[in-house]
Structure 1
Amino acid sequence: MNLLPRPVSYVDGGKLCAYQGWETVLVDGPPGGYRLLSSDDGVLIEAHDAAGEMNALQTLRQLLGPQAFRVAGDRPAVIPACEIVDHPRFEWRGVMLDVARHFLPKREVLRWVELLSAHKLNVLHLHLTDDQGWRFESKRYPKLTEIGSWREDSRFGDRRSAGMKGRPHGGFYTQDDLREIVEYARQRHIAVVPEIDIPGHSQAAIAAYPELGVHGGGVWTDWGINERVLNTAESTADFYRNVFDELMDVFPGEVIGLGGDEAPGHEGELVRAIAEHVLRAGRRPYGWDEVMESGPLPAGTIVASWRGVAGGVTALREGHDVVMCPEEFVYLDYRQSESPDEPIPVGTVTTLEKIYGWEPVPAGLTGEEPGRLLGAQANIWTEHLDSARRVDYAAFPRLAAFAEVVWSPAEKDPNFVQRLEEHHLPRLDALGVEYRPLTGPHPWQRLPGIPGLPR
């Protein structure tokens, strides 16, 4: 991502040049790559493709300074005279945003598309359904949103604390909302990957249509693993084939998420049936690494390796494409320090430095595996992130570190944190991102007395 671009060479000793616009020329090169030349003659962008031009324009925006990240105010008149040759290391540079546990309005999802674009990330994975809410409008099965899109209450903190918020929570996206998000992202060269989770994490659907489940019950108000899963009746598979048909009509992209996680003993039959249905439609199913335990996967399935990297390595060796997202390194809802000031501390300590130091390519791979390592993804689960402000706090500035890991070469820059503090945090300020300061949370970002579950 190059938070402060590191030019290959400077022109005329690095003097400043008046900025008056740019010219773009398409040339051969790696996908998403570009060359940016700034001189007294203006700015020239040579890009491999339209995505490369977008990446170059984001670099140009960085060169113009933090004020360029605002929609009003004085703009800089000069930029450094420089030559920058750059391209992404990985083709999949993603973020999973959980809008099922706590709903984010459409305006906030559009804002996230902008933030991904500013960080040269190119995949937005939307986790649309879970035990606690169904966020995708199904015209064929309206009860999924009439009943499944809201819950009566929510746990506030760790489930063992017995604390509840005492108020309903809900919301959903219409199909028109989601088509708008997809188009908004497409214009910024970001693919939107939808996920409807099966056979576990399905209590909201079961609440709406009890015949789908092994047991009944309402939309879940708690967090954690719910033992109530979908049944394996053929009628349930038909129901989800119809739902996935609607999903694929709204989301035209190649990759369609089907979950498959945290449902021990129940993964196989339904997951394979829906994966095959997605493949017959000309798309590619995308599942969490538990799908590897459900028997032979259909060719073309993409595996998201979240329980460490072993599942991803196995998938690569079996010929499947893989996205690395191990919880130890890229779960951005995990606590950021050992300090008691961290709000609702869950998971392991995952610092900015830990994320920046992560290497997405596991040791021991030869590069000759039949599957491809597409890239990596940071995951933002929202059990304890109940507002856009809380999501900002959890994600930033750690997401900036992740963005540089998946864009730049494997070698690490010892000056990364200094560059971040001096150059990129002012950009986040200009964008209105309510990030966690490097020294710890602001007083209003703390949630004293709300217990988490640190590990």
Structure 2
Amino acid sequence: MKKCLVLALMWSCSAHLVSAQVPVSDAGGLKVSWEFSENNYQKKGELLSVLTLTNTGSRPLPANGWTVYFNGAAPHNEGDTSVISVARVNGDYLRFSPGKSFHGLAPKAAVQVKLLTRPLRNITDYPKGFYIVFDTDPSHGIPLPLETKSAIDYTKQERAIAEKQYAQNLSVKNLPEAQMSPVFPSPVSYRRTSALFKPAAGLKIMADKDFGKEAAYLADEWQKVTGVKPAVGIASGSATKGPQKIVLQKKAIAFPEGYELSVSADQIVISASDAAGVFYGIQSLKVLLPPDSWDGKHTAVSIAGIEIKDHPRFPHRAFMMDIARNFQQKGEVIKTIEVLSLYKINILHLHLNDDEGWRIEIPGLPELTEIGSKRGHTTDEQTHLFPSYGSGPSIANSSGTGFLTRADYLEILRYATARHITVIPEFETPGHARAAIKSMDARYKKFMAAGKTAEATQYLLRDRDDQSVYRSVQGWSDNVINPALPSVYSFMEKISDETIAMYKEAGAPLQTIHFGGDEVPAGVWEKSPAVAALLKSDASIDGVDDMWHYYFEKVNVMLKQRGLYLSGWEETGLKKALVDGKKKMIVDTRAAGNNFHTDVWNNLSGNEDLAYKLANAGYKVVLTNVTNLYMDLAYSASDAEPGQYWGGYVDADKLFSFIPYDYYKNQKEDERGMPLDPSHFNGKERLTEAGKASIIGLQAPLWSEVITSPERFEYLLLPKLFGLAERSWAADPDWATAADPAVTEQLYQKSWSAFANVIGKKELPRLNTYAGGFSYRIPTAGVRVEQGMVKANAQYPGLMIRYTTDGTEPAANSKVYSGDLPASANLSFRLFNSAGRGGRTVKFALR
């Protein structure tokens, strides 16, 4: 057989063979195997899988009286359903159970069933969280060992990914420090000088009286680096010569949050007209320190002379952290605030509830956290919710269960406020609200049992007589609040007032509450008696579809009464209308003058110009484009890369290349990761000058469906966050406005190369130890074969390529790649950071 050269990416965590750490004896020796057999089965666009249930124990599995539950993409049987039938319970919660032709499973025997689902794209699609429940003990779920494996050959795909990465990396040149920006994100202007600031004993911080908090912060940060906390005093007038010091002085700066930073031999001066500007000057000073300054080994640091003038491009520089789908503890939220503030992100949008969890304590509504914050096996959801995203049968699962106490949230608010980050709370409504609905259902049942009807119905979120049939994008059939109920607005007022009280107690700013508005499915409210009655009594509501506008108008009035404005997803500025005989969401001009702030994510096919339409209509728009800014999307199309993929693939370059005022120009791929023809955007609405004034900033969300640990969260957050920081703070780059495509590409590649050098040589090494260190993603090597020689390169200079020739995974002491290698059977490449931590291996093979 003729040999040919192929490349294959191998997931270092054994993506194709995953076994739960559960004693087999707990389930009588049962185990589950799920094998992915064939994508595009029978050319119908479905994935064929084989589910195998094996009895490795000594006891037979009975013919009936049991059900296995798990989470994943909803499958259906391929053919016979009489042996084992697979069905959806709700959402991503699935089950399989014995059929009439199943006669039990003897020891050492196995049974198989063929299933069809959507095509497999990456490990995100793997089913998880399997457990069995016996009818004799219906409240007890027993975890099952799971083995997942794939018979699908991804060799060509992985080869193409490695070669594409290699080609992209070619534009990155290894630059000397003098050609890199001294601080990150890039300042408006800077000038290096020959001075050198060497801190001496007795260094003091002298601050204007308005900057006392920032001075105390700087003293604490300096102590983290050197072990010595400088004394803090009040500055008298402008900075003057004298004993060595750091001066924080008040000075008229034309731009909000702007600052000037001057480093000379005897002093450092940070000037600003507001406290935020001084704080950002301090963050730039920190970034001027050597990257390893936070490793605890420095007693002194020196800083090269520099003059910087800087201010942000956008006032709204936001990161959205989803702690609802899967929970992150308070410590991880605080750690996130640390890295956001370092890179001058000033908004933390906290997604606090969704279908799968309610994550904040609300005094007076204990059911929200007693029921809505927990996931585990349940038959009625009276004490907790169904498992989701593989959280399993136990409510002790740390990703499925958890919430922020009121004290936790106060601590987060105070911590963020000290770092000039505004926390925007989001309560997702009216859709994506299943956790809240189920919690209030349990409250209703509790008070009705006690004969307290008024209390039972006070905060009810659904019409108990509603017979509407719908299915959300995520598969839920009961996740939408009913806006016809007065109790719904009592609930909104309650959670708003308790939230406002927390911000007031914490001394934290609060201008808005985000009430979601995302992805309400077709069919809702159509058979609700409460909605029918409201439509009959209020002629101003134009049918069921107009309940959307009715709901947000009432929420908007409620917020205005409390001195707040409404934030929401793009749907808050849209309405359903007949377009060419079909219902479609279009801009709703009725709310355009209400100061609604809309996070616009949908720039997928057919909605490419939606953000510009809303901005041109007068809505305040936060650009949240899925194709460039969704951090939960996988870094690449590799089957071994964790992350979503429905909106394309997002690496740090997608965020870095984003052009806010003309994003048609930067979008080179569609949501499938396929190249786009430039003519694709012909006829799309362009941003007007008035619309440009309505673009208030950028936001990058990190949805948490696939995030079940802090490590996975940080992997998807970093280094993508660097692209958000650069584009939301730094001035419009020259390549964004160049008219000639060839010039644009040349300028862009030069800019990207400089950015990649800063990230690889400065910021990633800094994050090895900063705030305790971050588990950022180390990229895979680019690899290509030319004339029988294997070439490899790295996305970020500063990372080291190591390799092995015997098929083993490269380790921190493996050979360093320094040039082309002859093609051989067992070459493997892996990138390592300065701390010796490696990324995923790229394996080269002969076959």
TM-score, structure 1 as length reference = 0.88
- Tell me, yes or no, if the aligned pair for 2:714 and 2:774 is still in contact at 8 Å: yes
- Tell me, yes or no, if the aligned pair for 1:134 and 1:148 is still in contact at 8 Å: yes
Q: 1:226 is aligned with what amino acid? A: W
Q: How big is the shift at 1:48?
A: 2.5
Confirm whether residue 299 of structure 1 aligns to residue 594 of structure 2: yes
Q: 1:370 to 1:279 in 2, by over 3 A?
A: farther
Confirm whether residue 235 of structure 1 aligns to residue 487 of structure 2: yes
Q: 1:227 to 1:369 in 2, by over 3 A?
A: same
Q: 1:367 to 1:76 in 2, by over 3 A?
A: farther
What is the aligned partner in structure 2 of residue 54 from structure 1? 279
Deviations 1:27-59 (A, max 9, x none): 122111111111112111111311111111111
Which residues of 2 match residues 210-225 of structure 1 at below 5 A? 210=441, 211-214=460-463, 224=474
Q: 1:170 is aligned with what amino acid? A: T
Confirm whether residue 259 of structure 1 aligns to residue 521 of structure 2: no
Confirm whether residue 426 of structure 1 aligns to residue 768 of structure 2: no
- Tell me, yes or no, if the aligned pair for 2:612 and 2:691 is still in contact at 8 Å: no
The partner residue of 1:396 within 708, 718, 723 is 718
Q: 1:223 to 1:67 in 2, by over 3 A?
A: farther
Confirm whether residue 274 of structure 1 aligns to residue 531 of structure 2: no
| Backbone CA RMSD of aligned residues | 2.5
- Tell me, yes or no, if the aligned pair for 1:318 and 1:371 is still in contact at 8 Å: no
Confirm whether residue 382 of structure 1 aligns to residue 704 of structure 2: yes
TM-score, structure 2 as length reference = 0.49
What is the aligned partner in structure 2 of residue 373 from structure 1? 695
Deviations 1:6-32 (A, max 9, x none): 6521223xx433135410111122111
Deviations 1:351-398 (A, max 9, x none): 211211011224632322396211011100001111111110001001
Q: How big is the shift at 1:343?
A: 2.1
Deviations 1:287-320 (A, max 9, x none): 0001112452261211111112633322222222
What is the aligned partner in structure 1 of residue 650 from structure 2? 350
The partner residue of 1:84 within 308, 330, 335 is 308
Confirm whether residue 9 of structure 1 aligns to residue 191 of structure 2: yes
Structure 2 counterpart SS, 1:44: strand
- Tell me, yes or no, if the aligned pair for 2:618 and 2:691 is still in contact at 8 Å: yes
Distance 1:130 1:155 in 2: 12
Distance 2:433 2:323 in 1: 14
Q: 1:197 to 1:422 in 2, by over 3 A?
A: same
Q: How big is the shift at 1:339?
A: 1.9
- Tell me, yes or no, if the aligned pair for 1:279 and 1:300 is still in contact at 8 Å: no
What is the aligned partner in structure 1 of residue 240 from structure 2? none
Q: 1:315 to 1:117 in 2, by over 3 A?
A: same
Structure 1 counterpart SS, 2:280: helix
- Tell me, yes or no, if the aligned pair for 1:202 and 1:230 is still in contact at 8 Å: yes
Range 309-318 or range 84-93, more displaced: 309-318
Q: 1:75 to 1:47 in 2, by over 3 A?
A: farther
Q: 1:278 is aligned with what amino acid? A: L
Distance 2:191 2:838 in 1: 44
Structure 2 counterpart SS, 1:323: strand
- Tell me, yes or no, if the aligned pair for 1:58 and 1:118 is still in contact at 8 Å: yes
Distance 2:408 2:719 in 1: 28
Distance 1:356 1:371 in 2: 22
Q: How big is the shift at 1:154?
A: 3.8
Q: 1:16 is aligned with what amino acid? A: L
What is the aligned partner in structure 2 of residue 449 from structure 1? none
The partner residue of 1:325 within 589, 605, 624 is 624
Distance 1:424 1:260 in 2: 36
What is the aligned partner in structure 2 of residue 41 from structure 1? 266
Q: 1:5 to 1:300 in 2, by over 3 A?
A: closer
Q: How big is the shift at 1:403?
A: 0.5
Q: 1:3 is aligned with what amino acid? A: F
- Tell me, yes or no, if the aligned pair for 1:292 and 1:311 is still in contact at 8 Å: no
Range 246-255 or range 320-329, more displaced: 246-255
Structure 1 counterpart SS, 2:768: helix
Which residues of 2 match residues 307-318 of structure 1 at below 5 A? 307-308=602-603, 310-318=609-617
Distance 2:706 2:301 in 1: 43
The partner residue of 1:109 within 333, 339, 350 is 333
Structure 2 counterpart SS, 1:58: helix
Structure 2 counterpart SS, 1:272: helix
Gaps of 5+ in 2: 1-180, 204-244, 377-385, 442-459, 467-471, 504-508, 522-544, 576-587, 664-685, 734-747, 782-829, 832-836, 841-847
Distance 1:410 1:371 in 2: 15
- Tell me, yes or no, if the aligned pair for 1:130 and 1:202 is still in contact at 8 Å: yes
- Tell me, yes or no, if the aligned pair for 2:573 and 2:619 is still in contact at 8 Å: no
Which residues of 2 match residues 147-158 of structure 1 at below 5 A? 147-152=371-376, 154-156=387-389
Q: How big is the shift at 1:76?
A: 4.4
- Tell me, yes or no, if the aligned pair for 1:320 and 1:370 is still in contact at 8 Å: no
Distance 2:368 2:556 in 1: 21
Q: 1:230 is aligned with what amino acid? A: I
How many pairs are equivalent? 432
Structure 2 counterpart SS, 1:101: coil
Q: How big is the shift at 1:4?
A: 7.0
Range 343-352 or range 384-393, more displaced: 343-352
Distance 2:691 2:462 in 1: 39
Q: How big is the shift at 1:444?
A: 9.2
Structure 1 counterpart SS, 2:427: strand
What is the aligned partner in structure 1 of residue 569 from structure 2? 288
Distance 1:114 1:258 in 2: 26
Q: 2:196 is aligned with what amino acid? A: L
Confirm whether residue 361 of structure 1 aligns to residue 618 of structure 2: no
Q: 1:103 is aligned with what amino acid? A: F
Percent of aligned pairs with the same amino acid? 31
Structure 2 counterpart SS, 1:287: strand
What is the aligned partner in structure 2 of residue 146 from structure 1? 370
What is the aligned partner in structure 1 of residue 121 from structure 2? none
Q: How big is the shift at 1:183?
A: 1.2
Bigger relative CO (Cα 8 Å, ≥ 6 apart): 1
Structure 1 counterpart SS, 2:334: helix
- Tell me, yes or no, if the aligned pair for 2:349 and 2:426 is still in contact at 8 Å: yes
Q: How big is the shift at 1:270?
A: 2.1
Confirm whether residue 226 of structure 1 aligns to residue 408 of structure 2: no
